[in-house]
Amino acid sequence: MATITPAPPAETNRISNGHSSPATGIHELITESANDASQGFDTKSALEIARIINHEDSRVAAAVKKALPEIALAIDAVARSLREGGRLIYVGAGSSGRIAALDSCECPPYFSNAPQQIQYIMAGGPKALASPVEVNEDSEELGQRDIARRRPTRKDVVLGLSASGRTPYVVSAVTYARARGAKTACITCNPNTPLADAADIAIIAEVGAEVVTGSTRMKAATAQKMITNMITTGAMTRLGYVYENLMVNVHMQNSKLVERGITILMRACNIDRETAVRTIKSAGRSVPVALVMLKANVDKPEAVRRLAQSDGNVRRAIEDSVMDL
């Protein structure tokens, strides 16, 4: 196993809404502190339990809002990476790893991206999605080994998720990737952590203490899910895989997604269902091709050519078509 090269000094574009400091003990982490709002939790009725959890969940969006500048940097970094043939590689453990896996797996059916473009690495491997193998998250060696197998390069973005911000597996993987030139980012729910120090872009959503002390599958995981949604949806939108607010790159693999594609075309082009169905069929069941055909008044080969020229950016393909006519 090769020795991890120390991460280079912080760059001028490295942004974090927390400050660097030595690692703190787990008992000092905000996410591990006791929550006054849930004192006597085990004595509450079902409705009271639901109200307390709901009240605490309402704080998550506000915490994420404070991290929007860093989230925007991550969106642009991922969009740039994918445009240049790179990858977004998530790294996580436990609940954070499962959130990473979920976002990675959900993108292809919604945006038709190649599965290898957005990947996840989880401590313990795929079996850890269903069965807890949390002991692996303490291994720096395994974190380095698993990311090294993906051969990160300067084209890639490696994004580590850890509610505590100090998971050795994740910190080690991000440190290794950054030393190999990859752009690195992280999502954590505590300030002043080793993971934030290891990443170029540190996204810190301080959601506060959990209802059940230390149960970061709750507010912290909710924040991580919200942020990963923003990053991949934002990046795909920047790449032109969304037109207006419509998911035009939907992969029509089942009846629900076929209906969604038809509805998208009807709304985008203000046409009836029959016209939408006919056009999608003639476009080879591709919503982007059908949309360019209708909006630019061109045939399928021309629509395909224009989409290729625009790297799949639907709006640019349409607007370039209009300018050329």
- Are 159 and 90 in contact by the 8 Å Cβ rule? The answer is yes
Per the CB < 8 A criterion, the answer to whether 202 and 70 are in contact is yes
Distance of CA 253 to the CA centre of its chain: 23
Segments of the chain assigned to CATH 3.40.50.10490: 23-238
Q: Which of 70, 137, 206, 210 is catalytic?
A: 137
Angle at 117 between CA 112 and CA 121, to 5 degrees: 125
Taking the complete model, does pTM exceed 0.75, yes or no? yes
Coil, strand or helix: which one is 132?
coil
pLDDT of residue 134: 61
Predicted pLDDT of residue 209: 82
Active site residue 106: yes
Residue 91: what pLDDT? 97
Pairing label, strands 201-204, 15-16: parallel
Catalytic residue among 106, 140, 302, 319: 106
**Nearest 5 degrees, angle CA 126-CA 128-CA 133?**
140
58 DSSP 8-state letter: T
What pLDDT is recorded for position 135?
59
Residue that the structure tokens 């692996």 belong to: 136
DSSP per position, 101-127: HHHHHHHHHHH---GGGEEEEETT-GG
Q: What angle do CA 8, 20, 17 make, to 5 degrees?
A: 105
Which residue type sits at 313? N
CATH code at 23-238: 3.40.50.10490
pLDDT value, residue 3: 39
Per-residue confidence (pLDDT) for residue 130, from 0 to 100: 79
HEC letters along 152-202: CCCCCEEEEECCCCCCHHHHHHHHHHHHCCCEEEEEECCCCCHHHHHCCEE
Q: For the chain, what percentages of helix, strand and coil (3-state, to nearest 5) are there? A: 55, 10, 35
Q: 255-324 maps to which CATH number?
A: 1.10.8.1080
Strand-pair partners of 16: 202
CATH 1.10.8.1080, the chain: domain bounds: 255-324
Where b means 16+ CB within 10 Å and e means fewer, 72-103 reads bbbbebbbbbbbeebbbbbbbbbbbbbbbbbb
Q: What is the pLDDT along the chain (325 residues), one digit of tens a residue?
A: 333 444 443 333 344 443 333 344 666 787 777 777 788 888 999 999 999 999 999 999 999 999 999 999 999 999 999 999 999 999 999 999 999 999 999 999 889 899 999 999 999 888 888 776 665 777 899 999 999 999 999 999 999 999 999 999 999 999 999 999 999 999 999 999 999 999 999 999 999 888 888 888 999 999 999 999 999 999 999 999 999 999 888 878 788 888 988 999 999 999 999 999 999 999 999 999 999 999 999 999 999 999 999 999 999 999 874 444 4
